[in-house]
């Protein structure tokens, strides 16, 4: 695994493969990565994971088409609830003993789906913004 900290690092990674999967929310960071990847000679698949809060499919499709990327939207609502939300509630998971744990619950579910999707598509790298 190689951490990408610059456009030069991203270029190095994309020189090693012909297909990249990028996690995609449609926000500024993930859209910028699509723009940068569109300048490189590789196939790009953008993965959006719906955890139950709804996804504006038309908006995401418009953005990915603009940058020449394929879009996959995976519905992981049930998986998220069963493997993360319910166990957190049962454990009364708290952050700093004050706040219910929230967005950090989604990361393992999203990562699992990204790895499975990348393997299925034959992607040589997974790119995300964080």
**What is the pTM for the complete model shown?**
0.89
Q: Of 64, 62, 9, 3, give the one whose Cα is nearest residue 34.
A: 64
State residue 95's pLDDT score.
85
Out of 11-15, 24-28, 44-48, 120-124, pick the least confident. 11-15
State residue 109's pLDDT score.
94
What's the length of the chain? Answer: 130
- What residue ranges define each of the domains in the chain, with the CATH number in brackets? 7-77+110-127 (3.40.50.620)
Res. 1: pLDDT tops 70: no
Q: Of 102, 44, 54, 101, give the one whose Cα is nearest residue 76.
A: 54
Res. 100: pLDDT tops 90: no
Q: Of 116, 24, 126, 9, give the one whose Cα is nearest residue 70.
A: 24
Q: What is the pLDDT of residues 35-76, one digit of tens each?
A: 999 999 999 999 999 999 889 999 999 999 999 999 999 999
CB-hemisphere CA count at 13 Å for 118?
Answer: 20
Q: Of 98, 89, 37, give the one whose Cα is nearest residue 64.
A: 37
Res. 3: pLDDT tops 90: no
Res. 102: pLDDT tops 80: no
Res. 120: pLDDT tops 70: yes
Q: Choose between 103 and 21: higher pLDDT.
A: 21
How far, in Å, CA of 28 to CA of 13, rounded? 22
């Amino acid at each position: 695994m190689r951490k990408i900290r610059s456009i030069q690092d991203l270029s190095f990674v994309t020189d090693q493969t012909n297909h990249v999967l990028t996690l995609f929310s449609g926000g500024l960071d993930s859209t910028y990565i699509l723009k940068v990847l569109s300048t490189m000679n590789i196939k790009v698949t953008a993965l959006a994971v719906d955890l139950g809060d709804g996804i504006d499919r038309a908006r995401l499709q418009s953005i990915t088409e603009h940058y020449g990327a394929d879009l996959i939207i995976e519905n992981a609502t049930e998986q998220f609830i069963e493997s993360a939300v319910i166990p957190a509630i049962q454990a009364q998971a708290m952050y700093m003993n004050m706040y219910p744990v929230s967005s950090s619950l989604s990361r393992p579910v999203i990562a699992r789906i990204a790895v499975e999707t990348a393997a299925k598509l034959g992607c040589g790298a997974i790119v995300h913004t964080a």
